[in-house]
Amino acid sequence: MTDFHEINSCLECERCHLLARKVVPSGLFNHPKLGRMTKYSLSRNAKATIIEALNPLESKLKILSSIMNINDSITGEAITVITQSLKPIRFKVVNLSGRHKAHEGETIKFTYANIKYPLENVLNAYNKKTINS
């Protein structure tokens, strides 16, 4: 149940739950390792949570720092999601807060998600750290 916010943190899983206020499909890609895949860019308080972990629990992309445990999640201002299925993800409109609505969906095949732009407070803290050090 850990939520990761750091820059460049990424997750790999079999099924993933997605939540964001803005969802835009980026295109179809043919990756040398993953094959056919669809890319989505989620922005404005985006969150990706692992529902089903990989079996066996090994990184397909051989990334040492990738998050793979069930119920772990990444949160950021913008997240890039890549999934192997050609089927479009069905996004539902749900209430995120009293004022804002969000889009919610699930992937059904292997998914890779990466924080493209972290939350504003994380970025500020990171900048402060680099200035002081």
Partner 1 sequence: MEEITLKTTSEGFFQEEETFSETDFKKVNAKPVIKIQIKGSASRNLEIKFKEHLYLKGIKNLIKKNEFLQLYTQLLDSQITEEEYENELTNHYGKYSIDLKPVASRYEFVLLMDIVSKITDQNLTADEFSEIFGISNLSLEGE
- Contacting residues toward partner 1, per CB under 8 A: 8, 10, 25-33, 36, 41, 59, 61-63, 80, 82, 86-88, 112, 114, 116
Residue placing its CB nearer to partner 1 in the complex, 27 or 56: 27
Minimum CB–partner distance for residue 49 and partner 1 (Å): 20
Residue placing its CB nearer to partner 1 in the complex, 64 or 131: 64
Residue placing its CB nearer to partner 1 in the complex, 35 or 128: 35
Residue placing its CB nearer to partner 1 in the complex, 1 or 64: 64
Residue placing its CB nearer to partner 1 in the complex, 62 or 99: 62
- Gap between the Cα atoms of 74 and 114, Å rounded: 8
- Gap between the Cα atoms of 71 and 89, Å rounded: 20
- Tell me how far CA of residue 42 lies from CA of 32, 56, 64, 66, 115, in angstroms: 24, 28, 24, 19, 10
Give me the helices (H) in 17-69, please.
Answer: none
- Gap between the Cα atoms of 88 and 51, Å rounded: 18
Minimum CB–partner distance for residue 52 and partner 1 (Å): 21
Minimum CB–partner distance for residue 119 and partner 1 (Å): 17
- Gap between the Cα atoms of 103 and 19, Å rounded: 6
Minimum CB–partner distance for residue 99 and partner 1 (Å): 25
Minimum CB–partner distance for residue 98 and partner 1 (Å): 27
CA triple 19-20-23, angle to 5 deg: 115
